[in-house]
Amino acid sequence: MRAKWLWVVALSAAAAGCGEGRAIFDIDVFSFLSAANAASLPYFGPLPPGVPDTIPVQTVNSLGIGGSSIVDTVRLTGTVDFENATGTGSVSFQVYFDTVKSTVYTGAPAFSVSGAVTPGATTTSPFDIPNLPDALKPFFLASTVYVGIRASATGTIQGTAKLTALRARIVIQDKIFDVVP
């Protein structure tokens, strides 16, 4: 009997620890991109004809929780290194998310990171996106999220944009955590 009450107390403490019925997940998106050799992208300014400015769309395993959940927050943090070989200008590194592989690059980017570059130097651009737009949040409930990266440059420059970190902190509210009075 005593063990039963200790179990009930432990479960009650765990439920109280969840606060308002929220769960927090941390996904290392960079590890998926890095494993597929898709974390870096050459950039050119101006872009020569026929040279792609995007990586092939990559697949990231996500939460797969489903429709009863509500995404409260998707915070993205990371770093991009712009390794510039020649010229002076600026580079923009854009990241796209979608749940349909064929439409990843058709919408607006989820976020963009920019940096001014000079010849023979690396510009490190950290980013902290506190919350994605509401339209993108439900993507992270799917079991698969597709990721795309685009690099664009201004000026007569050439180099490589390298993602060195990208983490997604996803806060959800789910009915399974709701406490019935």
Taking 60 as the threshold, does the pLDDT of residue 81 lie above it?
A: yes
Please indicate, yes or no, if residue 64 is contained in any of the structural domains: yes
Please indicate, yes or no, if residue 144 is contained in any of the structural domains: yes
Q: Which residue has the tokens 């993507």?
A: 139
Tens-place pLDDT, residues 105-116: 998 999 999 999
Tens-place pLDDT, residues 86-142: 999 999 999 999 999 999 999 899 999 999 999 999 999 999 999 999 999 988 888
CATH code for the domain of 113: 2.60.120
The residues with which 180 forms a beta bridge, in sequence order, are none
Please indicate, yes or no, if residue 2 is contained in any of the structural domains: no
Please indicate, yes or no, if residue 11 is contained in any of the structural domains: no
The phi and psi torsions of 120 (rounded to 5 degrees) equal: 70, 20
Q: Note down the domain range covering 63.
A: 21-177
Tens-place pLDDT, residues 158-168: 999 999 999 99
Domains contained in the chain, number: 1
- Kindly report the pTM of this predicted structure: 0.80
| pLDDT for 20 | 64
Query: Half-sphere exposure (CA, 13 Å, Cβ side) for 33?
Result: 26
Please indicate, yes or no, if residue 15 is contained in any of the structural domains: no
Please indicate, yes or no, if residue 115 is contained in any of the structural domains: yes
Taking 90 as the threshold, does the pLDDT of residue 14 lie above it?
A: no
Amino acid identity of residue 76, one-letter, is: L
Average per-residue pLDDT for the chain: 83
Share of the chain above pLDDT 90, in %: 58
